[in-house]
Structure 1
Amino acid sequence: MVLCRSITITFLVLLLNYFAYSQRFPNQEINRLLDVGIEYVLNQNYDLAKSKFSMLEKKYPELPFGKIYLAVVDITKAFDYGEEINSEAIAKNLDEALELSENLLENNPTDIWNHYFVALSKGYKSYLRVLNGDWLSAISSGLSSVNYFADCLELDSSFYESYVALGTFKFWKSRKLEFLEWLPFFDDESENGIRFLELALDKTSYNKNLAAISLIWVYIENKNFYRAIQIAEKELKKNPINRTYKWALARAYEDVNPKIAIQVYKELITSYQKIPDQNHYHEIALKHIIAQQYAKIGEKRDALRLCDEILSFQNLTEYVREKLADRFKRVKKLQKELID
């Protein structure tokens, strides 16, 4: 289960960045469509992003780029909005992308892009399987994906996209298996993972977003909160409305300045409330987090008010109630503690 969680975190971090941005592909039009599409994703314009990736798929059906990114837009939007994922449509795109990728690799095994296509396809298939609770298949796809990223480095040591994926994997694998450090075969690669990620952050042209979000959560895990804040604030200057960076920034501030963390979390709530027909999934989670922060700094009245607000939500979908069942229990527990 620890290894399962390690692989889950690896590809969750890939997802929380919303896209593993490729190095410059040798086709200007493809690069332009990727540039624009991913910029739309970073600014949470998912419909516009899908239009660009649909165009990419139609113009270049022999390449898996379009199918991979269409799948990831759907995953990303569902994750960002707290909605139920459309597994069937996503799986179809990823299965077809993997088939294309493997055919390309078989026909030209020396082309680094063909290894990269397989790595991406398998990586996102792994995460989709995690979301669907298919852990055994997720482990297999996840490890296979990591191996293909390693193959990219064998072909070209300056292929920094692989440094991001491998750095993330090395850190979380070591961190979640550290209880085995007394065994002779255990190799703690957490520092090596950080080195890979810092190198990618410094060297990549397009993958900086991925390296950045990965490093932020790595430094939070390492309790190096000031470095996490530094990276998050720098990235937010480029994409000030990006909820992924804001959430990570707020989490980093929790252990440095809870009042700033509360303010950033409130900005996130405002952002989610602007989404048409939102299901309140993240709004409820954020209000609970803020209530916990208020309780931590002794502002019990504000904490209790938020608990009351959470428990008064009506007309939630069955999906949201099921996903938040444990959180509602914790909110009730906090409410009772605040009253007592």
Structure 2
Amino acid sequence: MFELFKKGYENFCLEAVRSFVKVEPISGRAIKGRELPERDYFKLRDRELKRLGLLGKEVDGRVLLQCIPKYAVRWTDLSPLLEHGRLHLTDLYLVEGWAAISPSELWELYSEFVAVRTEEYLEEIHEKLSQVRPPPLFVEVGARISQLVPKEKEWRPAVKRGRLRVEFFPPCVKKALGGCPAGVRNFAVSFLLTSFLSYARISPSGKPDPKIRDFVEDLSILTEEVIPMIYGAAERCHPPLFSDQPHEKANIWHHLGFGLTEHPRLEDSGKSKWYRTPNCQKIKLQAPLLCEPDEHCSQIKNPLTYYYRRLAEEKHAVQGGDTGGEENLL
């Protein structure tokens, strides 16, 4: 897209971008009648040159033009990128709700939009497929094919349900429990911790569409063990998550499968999807701040696999000890 733009196909390229966001040209240095200070105008240019690794170097005039603010984009149109952590509001220079964007930044935003839409589409397809039972013939064919495919190295050992063992949590979960800044706190608390802690504590079987009510007799495991840990992490965020987003309490229960509520009942389980723990790749993309691999992360693709493997290793080390120890709770 950027190459087409440089060759003179600006209008064609802008039409593609406008399928995601509303783009308006900057008239001179004015956005919505307000002129950008000259100092800020050139600071934005230099910031983009720095991002491209060109600041302080001899740059072709045509390249320089790609780094000068030329377009204005409504910041609200960028919300999908903000939600996925691919862009931060503090990175934008806003005037009357419009962000000043250079051509090179515009194409970068476009590529991020394509990536987000693709990721959302694949997740949607995965969710739909996980809820559909394939025809028996497909199951039989799949079983035969699986016999010919090498087994995955990643595995999930059978573990007993038991008290959560914090010392065996992966680094990303430990960081999330310690509290996160505004840019990643929603993902860390409402998505990562909520799914990881609930699955790790309840240890459901591999049903395609699990519901918590199928594995527990009451909500005490959640209300007395899992939820206090999640709420504690939310309070340790800076700023505390619920201080300016109290609705996230209901969102946590929504991710646990009880619908959007703060007062769930066991029979409500299944009103929404019980979200699975995001894999390591998703964490790296949406919350790279959390991803600091340790020596146990090798060949691990999901935080739950890390936890189950550490439990199994400890059980083996103590020759059959109970992996559901009750120590080291938060």
* TM-score for both structures, normalised by structure 1: 0.29
Higher CA-based Rg: 2
Higher relative contact order (CA 8 A, sep 6+): 2
Where is the strand percentage greater, Structure 1 or Structure 2? 2
* TM-score for both structures, normalised by structure 2: 0.30
